[in-house]
């Protein structure tokens, strides 16, 4: 599921914000996403080339792809600013067609469902750094644990919820009843425009 940096990129594309100015435009905003449904998971082997200073390293990595996912993506911040973004997107005047991290993962459709209040909660339904997770909310919770380049924790691992919820050690900002945890871009390491 898209991390906050990817969610910011998706919103940025739809709003027509150039990548080079995205960090400034989205300063003091929070982002997050949640997987609502999908048509299964696909495991693929990918070959990579990594160029080191004097040699090329080759390898194969396993990649997990979510087939035909539907996500909630959320952005939070100063109400007037969020309202302006929302009104622009409600008109379906997406400036650029966003994609989900790889060139062939284009967004098929989007819609604005509603504006919700940001509240504090120690239960989330999307993702959280491993160091912040206290326990799974139920024995039926399904998740993946993957490394994420972030600045907020000594462990690189993030818990990604495919079904269910996580109980955290402290409260975080969430998007209303959806329990989508929202994080600032500064928490993550990313390539700046």
68 Rama class: left (phi>0) / alpha (psi -120 to 50) / beta: left
For residue 81, the tally of other CB atoms under 10 A from its CB is: 14
For residue 120, the SS3 value is strand
DSSP string of 86-115, one letter each residue: HHHHHTT--SS--BSSSTT-B---------
* The token pair that represents 21 in the structure block: 């100015």
Task: Name which of 190, 163, 180 is nearest 73 in CA terms.
Answer: 180
Residue-level pLDDT at 42? 84
What is the per-residue pLDDT for 139?
87
Beta-bridged to residue 175, according to DSSP, are 118, 180
pLDDT for position 192: 61
CB 166 within 8 A of CB 129: no
pLDDT score at 193: 55
What pLDDT shows up at residue 153? Answer: 78
Q: Which two tokens stand for residue 137?
A: 């909310």
Mean pLDDT (the chain) is 87
- Rounded Cα distance between 58 and 46, Å, is 11
Residues of the chain with pLDDT under 70: 100-104, 190-193
pTM of the model: 0.86
Closest CA to 115 of 48, 184, 177, 22: 177
Hey, what are 160's tokens?
């990604």
pLDDT tens column, 141-190: 888 888 888 887 788 899 999 899 999 999 999 999 999 999 999 998 76
Residue given tokens 């604005």 in the structure block: 112
Q: Is 69 helix (H, G, I), strand (E, B) or coil?
A: coil
Measured torsion, CA atoms of residues 122, 126, 128, 134, in degrees rounded to the nearest 10: 50
CA angle 165, 169, 131 (to 5 degrees): 90
């Amino acid at each position: 599921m898209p991390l906050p940096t990817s969610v910011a990129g998706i919103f940025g594309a739809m709003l027509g914000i150039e990548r080079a100015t995205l960090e400034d435009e989205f300063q003091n905003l929070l982002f997050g996403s949640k997987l609502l449904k999908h048509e299964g998971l696909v495991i693929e082997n990918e070959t990579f080339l990594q160029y080191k200073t004097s040699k090329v390293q080759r390898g194969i990595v396993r990649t997990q792809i979510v087939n035909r996912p539907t996500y909630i993506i959320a952005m939070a911040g100063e109400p007037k600013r969020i309202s302006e973004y929302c009104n622009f997107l409600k008109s379906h005047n997406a400036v650029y067609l966003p994609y989900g991290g790889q060139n062939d993962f284009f967004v098929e459709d989007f819609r604005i469902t509603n504006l919700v209040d940001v509240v504090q909660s120690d239960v989330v339904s999307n993702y959280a750094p491993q160091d912040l997770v206290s326990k799974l909310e139920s024995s039926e919770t399904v998740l993946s644990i993957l490394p994420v380049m972030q600045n907020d924790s000594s462990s690189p691992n993030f818990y990604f919820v495919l079904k269910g919820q996580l109980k955290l050690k402290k409260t975080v900002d969430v998007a209303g009843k959806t329990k989508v945890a929202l994080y600032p871009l500064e928490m993550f390491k990313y390539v700046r425009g």
